[in-house]
Amino acid sequence: MKFEKSIIKTLNKRVSKRAYKSLEIESSKLRKIKQILKKKFTGPFGGKSRFELIDCGTNDPLEKRRLGTYGFIRGAHYFIIGILEQKEKNIVDFGYCFEKIILKMTELGLGTVWLGSTYRYSQFKDCTNLKENEYIAAISPVGYSLDKPKTYEKLISWGIGARKRKPWSNLFYIGDFSTPLTENMAGKYTTALEMVRIGPSARNAEPWRVVKEKKSNIFHFYLQLIRKLSSDNLPPMKQMDLGIALSHFELTAKEQKISGKWVKKNPNIDTIRKNLHYIASWIGE
């Protein structure tokens, strides 16, 4: 996906928006959104996903507010629907692709927010052209957000600590998980890691953990969970969070002319008693 503005500025600008103006999205912008969503989306590990723009609005404002989101989203009636095939297991790739769409909407001056569960699935299913072998993995409203957040928005943000972020020492490491990675140690990858740090995540849990190899620009990305689960049973939203992290890291590196690629090659770093699950590695220059 091509971005026309600085991705670093866009990443810093993007915040979750839950209250929207009644202002319609211009027809020219709607066409652009639909053109973007028509493209085939494939993540770095071959996972395929598709997206639709739907309008579930009605002439009754109360009905609009009720539809689909249990009151968490107000005023919006355009939604981007993220769709996966039932057999698709690469949820990280879905998060990677959807976050790029979210960032493109930010670049277009539109508000968004990831929704993985706080919506009425059956109602959105009725508005979407789902095939028998498909399901909705996540959605996002899209539209012009209110200039000032409503009280309920502030309460939600406060409740999940939306503005808070963990320090580097809790997220990034060098060699293994015993030594925190400093910004000086990160070198030219400092900004890419910072863009990972500020990324959105379910309940603002920031489940990504990254280990840089000591003598090379190889970064191993892990998912940290609170409770112990097998790698075959990782929560979908947590996997999407890691997809967001991969997307932020890669887009920032690309803007800074840093080349690299994603691979799956577990370095077998000791993760005993840490509830960490290996996700992917960046092999950089």
| pLDDT tens-digit series, residues 202-231 | 889 999 999 999 999 999 999 999 888 888
DSSP code for 81: E
Neighbour order of strands in the sheet with 208-212 = 172-174, 208-212, 218-224, 276-284, 260-263
Sign (positive or negative) of CA dihedral 16, 18, 19, 24: positive
Domains of the chain and any CATH numbers:
7-152 (3.40.109.10), 168-284 (3.40.109.10)
Confidence of residue 74 (pLDDT cuts 50, 70, 90): confident
> What are the distances in angstroms from CA 284 to CA 36, 137, 169, 236, 258?
29, 31, 22, 27, 7
Check residue 239 and give its pLDDT: 97
Start-to-end CA span in the chain (Å): 22
Cβ(263)–Cβ(281) below 8 Å: yes
CA distance 269 to 277: 10
- Quote the mean pLDDT of the chain: 90
Cβ(268)–Cβ(285) below 8 Å: no
Check residue 71 and give its pLDDT: 59
Cβ(91)–Cβ(81) below 8 Å: no
Q: What angle do CA 150, 236, 149 make, to 5 degrees?
A: 5
Confidence of residue 65 (pLDDT cuts 50, 70, 90): very low
- How much of the chain, in percent, has pLDDT values that exceed 70? 89
Q: Which residue has the tokens 């699950």?
A: 277
Cβ(160)–Cβ(204) below 8 Å: yes
Give the predicted TM-score (pTM) of the model.
Answer: 0.91
- How much of the chain, in percent, has pLDDT values that exceed 90? 73
Rounded average pLDDT over 153-175: 76
Sorted by sequence, the CB contacts under 8 Å of residue 117 that are 6+ apart come out as 237
CA distance 48 to 1: 15
